[in-house]
Chains A and B, each alone.
Chain A
Amino acid sequence: MKTPRERLSINAYLVFFLVHTVQIGLGIVGVQRVIFVEARQDAWIAVLLSGLWIHLVVFVICQTLKQTEHDNIFSLHTFVYGRVFGWMVNAAVVVYFLMAYTSILLGYVEMALTWMYPDFPLWGGALILVVLTVYALYGGGFRLVAGVSFITFFMAIWIVVVVFQPLKYAEWIHLLPIFEATPKQMANGVLKTAYTMLGFEVLYIIYPFVKEKERAHRYAQLGVLLTTFLVAVVTVIAIAFFSPKQLEVTIWASLSMFTIVKFPFIERFEYVVIPLWLLVILPNLLMFMWAMTRGGKALFHVKQKYLLFVFGPMSFFVAILFKRRATINEFIDQVGWYGFWLSFVYPFILYMLVKYKAWMREKKQ
């Protein structure tokens, strides 16, 4: 595959926004409970460990891609596994993106319905989001994704300031004693952060589009750093704010914390946050849909634009299969688990395979 044309490429600093905004999404709204169940009051340490791990993974991903500079994950797979087997692995990656996309779609719609519009149908919400993604990508393309993540980052980052308001009710004693979790609990905790931290694997696909490739790595690391920091902060605050058993039953801990926030001009801040959160998940939706069609292009050799009309309806129909909170939850867990192996573990294997293949080819010549 050739390096994309100049017209389509992006500046390296945009990688920071792309990686960060695709990581932050639905997970951060309710991640606290999920990790807390595993690692108890040391949940925030699990987040930091997971962050460290991701820094390493990002390094490995960039090392893998550096070898050829114009390859993405799909062409690498064909190179490593051969045509037939590579096609199947690529299909699996596309299915992963489809699942990730659908889980965000479902999660957000479900949240909006629970908090704001209980009598609005789920399919209606899902349809709006799918149409929005298809419309945006049909007219835009990759550069639009980069632009959207840049703008939405600044439109949403100010919410961080408000997160500190619940500290008025914080009981710091909940964080003690530190380091009580056993290694096994901690490992499970790290595993459970996966869904929230996922997204950095799109580096595999956006890397060829970056103009200054040598600087892409640095910006990707910075994006991951900010994500880890934010997730760790909301986790610490939630542990202090809720009592242990209360946190275990709170689905959207971050949102529930916002019910404390009160301004003289707006009494219920969560009603601002939920619509605003659409801006936070929009880069996720666009990025995953774009990655999906990019994979589809490698699979079927069809223009990306046309694939939008295949994958869009497909995720819509998958989404409307779900009705209950419990099944949606299970689905999101599944995506997290699948994503964990693909993004936290697989990059190391792929790196070694690519190295080995390249070495073999050299030897042959």
Chain B
Amino acid sequence: MKWLLMFTLLLSGCVQPRVLERQGIITAAGFDKEGKQYKGASVMLSFQTTGSSMSEVIEATDVTSKGVRQDLEAQTSHDLGSGQIRVAVYGKELAEKEGIYPLTDTLQRDANIGSLVYLAVGDPSAVDIIKSKKTEDTPDIGTYLYRLIEKNAKTESVLAATLHEFIAHYYDVGKDPTLPCLTLRDGKPIIQHVALFKGDRYVGRASLDESFYIKLLASGRNVGIKDVPLLVDDISPLIVKKRGKKVNIVLNEIRTKRNITLVQQKPTPRFQASIEIESEILETSTKLKPITKDNVHILERAIEKQMKKEVERVLHKLKSYKTDPIGFGQIYDHSVRKLQLTPKQWDKLYQDTQIDVDVNVSILRTGTID
């Protein structure tokens, strides 16, 4: 028995050791397609015995996406480890022409990679974004992109974009994924748009302003700050001095409730979407009269009117792209008994879907002044 135990202990040495200094830890990867060639780049973080760490970008080009991986491996003396990958960026052209599911499949299949990897679209190129040297105070681009997306998804109007959510929405009938769209400004990657997908294909983009409503309707989660332009005529009792046609009000969302129900199934689906926003005013572009109990409703109604208009515009835009990131199809599928909705069926129904929007805004606070 003792011998057997000894043997068992010895066996544990069979697993390949991983020496930290020999590891090249990939923190971000980017994929592009140029013509017929795939282009890939990844940021490799390696640790030196002196104590500091070093990040380096390696690039490769090949005719298949798997070939890129091999080429990357051939370019370094370190063992490439994918367990710490934070962000995967896909070029716009690649996402538009081929779809990114085959590439995300690799991430998903690999047990080393967690489900909380962020995905993003690089406009126009993913490799350029990975190659960017401007990373604020973080040691490498992977960590910078991760924090950038994390912050914006948590508190601002970018929809969450983890691998898990992308895959879940890709598979869900009647719900399409969205990803943050990264662009370079003065060589620094920023989020300027939200990329809209149909299945795994990029179909268009929405501004962050539009994305506010998409996120609001899709998840009801924290959506952050919203600038609402109001017509002066709508809030005339509040105006001190009339100047210009529009007044901009910046709202900070405190709590949101949204509710989407299917009210009519035949002949065409009809949804009732109601949004209740509790908010505070952060900024007004012109001086307003003090906002009190008596006149706050004027402002609230004006904001509601404007928001309703904007929501309807966004919904129209989504329809024209034939994408459904809010998940009306999902609600349809799960509200109707004995129905296995297919993507094709929903594509057809979606175009005729009618969505009634009802916005209810209440202003809880106006900052430290009225």
A residues adjacent to B (C-beta < 8 A): 41, 114-117, 119-121, 124, 127-128, 131-132, 135, 138, 169, 171, 173-174, 176-177, 180, 241-246, 256, 259-260, 262, 267-268
Contacts and interface: CB of A to CB of B under 8 A. Distances in A.
Given A259-B114, A262-B116, A267-B114, A243 B335 contact: no
Most buried by A among B16, B115, B173: B115
B15 A119 contact: yes
Nearest to B340: A40
Interface residues of B, number: 31
A244 B172 contact: yes
A280 B222 CA distance: 39
Interface in B162-204: 164-165, 167-169, 171-173, 175
Contacts of A119: 15-16
A303 B164 CA distance: 53
Contacts of B22: none
A120 B13 CA distance: 10
B293 interface: no
A173 B330 contact: yes
Given A135-B1, A259-B116, A174 B334 contact: yes
Given A131-B8, A135-B5, A173-B327, 9 more contacts: A116-B111, A117-B15, A128-B11, A131-B7, A138-B1, A173-B334, A243-B171, A246-B168, A260-B164
Nearest to A115: B111
A44 to B, nearest CB: 15
A28 B263 CA distance: 39
A171 B165 CA distance: 11
B58 to A, nearest CB: 23
Interface of B: 1, 4-5, 7-8, 11, 14-16, 83, 111, 114-116, 164-165, 167-169, 171-173, 175, 327, 330-331, 334-338
Contacts of B337: 177, 180
B8 A128 contact: yes
B114 A124 contact: no
A180 B1 CA distance: 56
A131 B4 contact: yes
11 contacts: A117-B15, A120-B15, A127-B8, A131-B4, A135-B1, A171-B168, A177-B334, A245-B173, A260-B115, A260-B116, A268-B114
A256 B168 contact: no
Nearest to A256: B115
A117 B112 CA distance: 10
Nearest to B160: A169
Contacts of B16: 119
A138 B2 CA distance: 13
A51 to B, nearest CB: 25
A246 B170 CA distance: 9
A124 B111 CA distance: 20
A349 B351 CA distance: 59
Nearest to B260: A173
B331 A173 contact: yes
Contacts of A174: 334
A173 B341 CA distance: 15
Contacts of B111: 114-116
A299 B337 CA distance: 54
B338 A180 contact: yes
A115 B169 CA distance: 25
4 smallest beta-carbon distances between A and B, as pairs: A245-B171, A243-B172, A246-B171, A176-B334
A123 to B, nearest CB: 10
A130 B1 CA distance: 13
B203 to A, nearest CB: 20
Contacts of A176: 334-335
Nearest to B168: A243
Contacts of A244: 171-173
Nearest to A267: B114
A39 to B, nearest CB: 14
Given A138-B1, A243-B171, A259-B116, A124 B14 contact: yes
Contacts of B11: 124, 127-128
Nearest to B83: A268
Contact of B167 (A116, A171, A177, A246): A246
Contacts of B335: 176-177
A256 B162 CA distance: 14
